[in-house]
Amino acid sequence: EAGVAQSPRYKIIEKRQSVAFWCNPISGHATLYWYQQILGQGPKLLIQFQNNGVVDDSQLPKDRFSAERLKGVDSTLKIQPAKLEDSAVYLCASSLASNSPLHFGNGTRLTVT
């Protein structure tokens, strides 16, 4: 089966600019996750979707981050405006349902200068 697709793989922007990441989950996976992984740390959940509804966005900095999954399939994560501390790898993952194994994409490495 095709894995979780993410783009772009790398992005370099200046602080205060905006950026968007795209994710296409494994076909049939109802649950989609966006994680932020800062160098040397474990993935931190930003937002979790069940189909096109938000299950948990308690750790999403909503003043600058937004995410959507309009048709219950692919998803976009946006940062506007970016800060230096947003430099991280943004991982998208999907699972067949909640409480089942997550499959990660290759991530987008964001560098904010």
Give the footprint of other proteins on this chain (CB under 8 A).
33, 35, 40-45, 48, 55-56, 58, 91, 98-107
| H or E stretch covering 6 | strand 5-7
Please state, in angstroms and as integers, the Cα–Cα distance from residue 30 to each residue in 12, 24, 64, 103, 105, following that order. 31, 12, 26, 12, 15
Min dist. Cβ of residue 44 to other proteins (A): 7
**Separation CA 100–CA 104 (nearest Å):** 13
**Closer CB to other proteins, residue 16 or residue 62?**
62
**Closer CB to other proteins, residue 1 or residue 15?**
1
Min dist. Cβ of residue 78 to other proteins (A): 21
